[in-house]
Chains A and B, each alone.
Chain A
């Protein structure tokens, strides 16, 4: 079986001592930032990008991936214990998890979340290993026209499923694409929009954008809000192990959540957030055993299902990134950036050109998930202590790491100034209700999209109909159009708005 050979290669790579340490480091860091409110995986990964220059590609990506799924675990801890979801994907976990904690069943809720996530993580890993190779095969048949259409679909999909206002989100993508145009044109060698600033002829470093908008911009908006009062359930975490009845109730929910998350994660823009929302809705509609606790009052299914789903979704959202080089969300956009930093062109060829990286990363996810269960359940006390770190200590630390990281990008203070500027821009976006994540996706894909568009037009001798006459390309564009139309339908539009208001 090829699948097992591949996984064997992966585990061989991932089970070296240093790679296990990197996975562990990523998992710990991820849990940490998941627990700490006001610091998410996007800002953290952006903060760490400058330091991966000194690492090999495989350990670097193993660590970054660990941060992403570690944050999913950590986010659920805060959701259950203080009713503040550390990550947006844990929003629904807070509904039943927090009520369980208030009834003295925090331990059972944490265990359901942890074990459910672990199960989902294992399944997610197998799904990636099974579906990545056939998708890669398909991607090799793509020409420039198909790639361009695929990127259009990816970008549209990312905002259709995961943002508030659709028109604004698409405009933010375009803004990202335009910012990606500040560079030296690959084909003609002409510097564009550089205003005679030599640093700009190489293009804006996306770390500066990510840190400015997601680091500084977020700090400014957090400080602009009045400090919130938090109530932490530190004393009540006892009886960690769920009862037999909890297992009986929770396990089917975990199964449903995992299945749902694995499917939704692959969709562009799906990922963890959508998966957890969908899983909660499914659990609410599924009839449980008679006499169980109602939803909203501490039903264990309301914790186990969404937590399994968001972890499965987080895992399978690696599929489009690894096989096609197309990031479905902001974290994956940063992973693509990290690969580029390490000199690896993301896309279908990664699997054949860097098999250790590809399969090692996949295997390390399983190892990382195992470590996370151990980190999160027995060591929960440590994380609870961290919950009490006040923001006034935290944000200067974020500032320090960002500033040093920015300087070391090119050993030059230009990137520091640039990020300060994007901090202002990020705050402006926050004030105007414009979500910044689509901008980052557009920025990452911009140069690739332009190159493919121009190559496709060259090949077709300037005939724009090439995008519609090639069946695969036409199908992808139609799918993108269909997504927009469906979301614009009044009945769905209303439901979608309600769902996102819940998320705030």
Chain B
């Protein structure tokens, strides 16, 4: 058996797996009866329906001819890891080190995901964005965001 559309094959598999997962998870909650549906009623039905549709996608991917096999293609690992990584680092460090350290770090780190990365430009961009964010979010909208590393006092807002 040959896969005729890789994209559909994998997405079909994803729909089946996630649908069954949700349906299986819903068995932990009371199903109720049709006249008195419990918390598990709706997700169970939805999960099964999604798994069925996933099955249709999967079936089609093995049967319906496509011109180029609809290959998924290589993953862009570098941007994927850097972008997601810099968001995680931002989330971890912001409450600890404050915006004035974390935000420039986010800007420079994420900028390095681009093929056209130049450190000087990224630093320049970081300064502008940090000042701009301060002006919009702290000065303008009065949001409470930690600004500096917490050494007992000094939080912004």
Interface residues of A (CB under 8 A from B): 51, 54, 165, 167-168, 170-171, 174-175, 177-178, 181, 185, 187-188, 190, 192-193, 216, 219-221, 223-224, 226-227, 390-393, 395-397, 399-401, 403-404, 406-408, 411, 413, 416-417, 419-420, 423-424, 427-428, 431-434, 450, 453-454, 457-458, 461-464
Q: List 21 A-B contacts (CB under 8 A).
A: A168-B57, A171-B57, A174-B19, A178-B18, A193-B22, A223-B115, A396-B122, A396-B126, A401-B133, A403-B90, A403-B103, A416-B88, A417-B91, A427-B80, A431-B75, A432-B10, A432-B11, A432-B14, A457-B35, A458-B35, A462-B35
B121 within 8 A of A: yes
- CB within 8 A of A174: which of B41, B46, B88? B46
**Pairs A-B, 5 closest by C-beta atoms:** A224-B76, A462-B35, A416-B91, A462-B34, A223-B79
CB-defined contacts of A187 to chain B, threshold 8 Å: 39
A178 contacts B79, CB within 8 Å?
no
1/0 contact string of B1-22 vs chain A (CB within 8 Å): 0000001101100110011001
CB-defined contacts of B47 to chain A, threshold 8 Å: 178
- CB within 8 A of B87: which of A171, A397, A419? A419
1/0 contact string of B60-91 vs chain A (CB within 8 Å): 10000000001011011001100110111011
Other A-B pairs beyond A171-B54, A423-B87, 10, CB < 8 Å: A168-B11, A181-B46, A190-B30, A391-B114, A399-B86, A400-B133, A417-B91, A424-B84, A431-B73, A457-B34
Q: Which single residue of chain A is at the shortest CB-CB distance from B103?
A: A400
A399 contacts B87, CB within 8 Å?
yes
Interface centre among A221, A403, A419 (most CB of B within 10 A): A403
B7 contacts A407, CB within 8 Å?
no
A392 contacts B53, CB within 8 Å?
no
B69 to A: closest C-beta gap in Å: 13
A396 contacts B34, CB within 8 Å?
no
CB-defined contacts of B76 to chain A, threshold 8 Å: 220-221, 223-224, 427
- Distance between Cα atoms of A494 and B117 in the complex (Å): 43
Contacts A223-B79, A408-B145, A423-B84 given; indicate if A400 touches B129 (C-beta within 8 A).
yes
Interface centre among A178, A413, A463, A464 (most CB of B within 10 A): A178
1/0 contact string of B92-103 vs chain A (CB within 8 Å): 101100010001
B145 to A: closest C-beta gap in Å: 6
- CB within 8 A of A392: which of B15, B84, B116? B116
- CB within 8 A of A390: which of B41, B107, B116? B116
B15 contacts A399, CB within 8 Å?
no
- Distance between Cα atoms of A226 and B79 in the complex (Å): 12
A408 contacts B84, CB within 8 Å?
no
CB-defined contacts of B153 to chain A, threshold 8 Å: none
B141 contacts A392, CB within 8 Å?
no
CB-defined contacts of A188 to chain B, threshold 8 Å: 30, 38-39
B90 to A: closest C-beta gap in Å: 5
- Distance between Cα atoms of A396 and B82 in the complex (Å): 12
A485 to B: closest C-beta gap in Å: 16
Contacts A190-B30, A399-B106 given; indicate if A404 touches B137 (C-beta within 8 A).
yes
Q: Which single residue of chain A is at the shortest CB-CB distance from B83?
A: A220
Contacts A168-B57, A178-B22, A224-B79 given; indicate if A396 touches B125 (C-beta within 8 A).
yes
CB-defined contacts of A420 to chain B, threshold 8 Å: 84, 87-88, 91
CB-defined contacts of B84 to chain A, threshold 8 Å: 216, 220, 420, 423-424
A70 to B: closest C-beta gap in Å: 19
A423 to B: closest C-beta gap in Å: 5
**Secondary structure of the A side of the interface?**
helix
- Distance between Cα atoms of A396 and B143 in the complex (Å): 21
CB-defined contacts of B70 to chain A, threshold 8 Å: 433
- Distance between Cα atoms of A417 and B129 in the complex (Å): 21
A407 contacts B72, CB within 8 Å?
no
Contacts A171-B50, A220-B76, A432-B72 given; indicate if A400 touches B34 (C-beta within 8 A).
no
B29 within 8 A of A: yes
- Distance between Cα atoms of A170 and B50 in the complex (Å): 8
- CB within 8 A of B53: which of A170, A181, A396, A462? A170
CB-defined contacts of B111 to chain A, threshold 8 Å: 392, 395-396
- CB within 8 A of A408: which of B14, B41, B137? B137
B106 contacts A458, CB within 8 Å?
no
B99 to A: closest C-beta gap in Å: 7
B82 to A: closest C-beta gap in Å: 9
Contacts A192-B43, A221-B76 given; indicate if A168 touches B34 (C-beta within 8 A).
no
B106 to A: closest C-beta gap in Å: 6
CB-defined contacts of A185 to chain B, threshold 8 Å: 29, 39
B143 contacts A408, CB within 8 Å?
yes
B134 to A: closest C-beta gap in Å: 10
B145 contacts A177, CB within 8 Å?
no
B29 to A: closest C-beta gap in Å: 6
B74 to A: closest C-beta gap in Å: 9
- Distance between Cα atoms of A188 and B57 in the complex (Å): 35
A458 contacts B137, CB within 8 Å?
no
B137 contacts A51, CB within 8 Å?
yes
B139 within 8 A of A: no
CB-defined contacts of A424 to chain B, threshold 8 Å: 80, 84
A199 to B: closest C-beta gap in Å: 13
B8 contacts A168, CB within 8 Å?
yes
A52 to B: closest C-beta gap in Å: 10
- Distance between Cα atoms of A413 and B145 in the complex (Å): 11
B33 within 8 A of A: yes
A397 contacts B129, CB within 8 Å?
yes
Q: Which single residue of chain B is at the shortest CB-CB distance from A219?
A: B83
A66 to B: closest C-beta gap in Å: 17
B75 contacts A404, CB within 8 Å?
no
CB-defined contacts of A165 to chain B, threshold 8 Å: 8, 57
CB-defined contacts of B125 to chain A, threshold 8 Å: 393, 396-397
- Distance between Cα atoms of A181 and B73 in the complex (Å): 33
B22 to A: closest C-beta gap in Å: 5
